[in-house]
Amino acid sequence: MSGYFDRIRNHLTDSSLLKKKIAESDDLVQRIYDASSLMIQCLQKGGKILWCGNGGSAADSQHLSAELVARLNLTRPGLASIALTTDTSLITAWSNDVGFDSLFSRQVEALGKKGDVLFGFSTSGNSQNVLEAVNAARKKEMITIALLGKSGGTIHKVTDLSIIVPSHNTQHIQEAHITIGHILCDLIEFKLFKS
C-alpha cells in the first residue's frame, strides 16, 4: 500500500509545484491577467467567447464555457460563451465527410465575428484543428487566446496571446489549464459584476 500512497502523494506534490511555479512567474501571471482583460473587453462590447480543444481540453472547453453562461461564484446575468466541442451531430458529420482538422475552423467561420474571442486549448501546442481554428479566427479579425503546454508548439506562434504551462507532463498541464480557466472566469465575473 505504501507504494500506492507514495504515487498519490507524488502526483499531488508535482501538480502543486507546477501551479506554484506559475504563481511565481510574473510573465505568466501577467498573461493570465491580459487574457481576462481581452475576454472582458469582448463581452462588454457584445461579443462572445468560443472555446475549442480535444480530449480533456474539449472537456475544459465545455466546463469553462458553462461557468460563463451559468455562473462561477456570483448570481448574475449569463455571458455569451459557446464550446465548439458539444455539437455531436456536426462533429461526427463534418469529421466523417470532410475531416477532423477543419472541424473547429468551420464552426469559427459560421459562428465567429469580428471582436469575438477564440480560446483554444492544446497541451502540445500542435493540435491541427485548434491551429486551423486560430487561423480562421484571425481572418475574421477575432481575438485569439490559447492555453498551451510544453514549448507552445505552432499555435503559440499565431495567437494574439498564449499562456504556456511550463511542463511536459500532459496530466499536470491539463490540471494547470483548468485552474487557470477558473481564474479567468473569476476575474471576468469580478470585473463585470462586483468591482
- Give the mean model confidence (pLDDT) for residues 84-88: 97
Query: What is the 8-class DSSP label of residue 102?
Result: T
- Beta strand pairing call for 117-122 and 143-149: parallel
Per-residue model confidence (pLDDT) at position 3: 85
| Residue-averaged pLDDT of the chain | 97
What values do phi and psi take at 119, rounded to 5?
A: -115, 110
Would the pLDDT of 105 be above 80? yes
Per-residue model confidence (pLDDT) at position 2: 73
78 pLDDT band (50/70/90 cuts)? very high
167-178: per-residue pLDDT in tens? 999 999 999 999
125-151: per-residue pLDDT in tens? 999 999 999 999 999 999 999 999 999
- Give the mean model confidence (pLDDT) for residues 84-105: 97
Rounded distance, CA 116 to CA 46, Å? 9
If one counts every other C-beta atom within 10 angstroms of the C-beta of residue 126, the result is 16
45 pLDDT band (50/70/90 cuts)? very high
Domains, the chain, ordered by start: 2-194 (3.40.50.10490)
Would the pLDDT of 195 be above 90? no
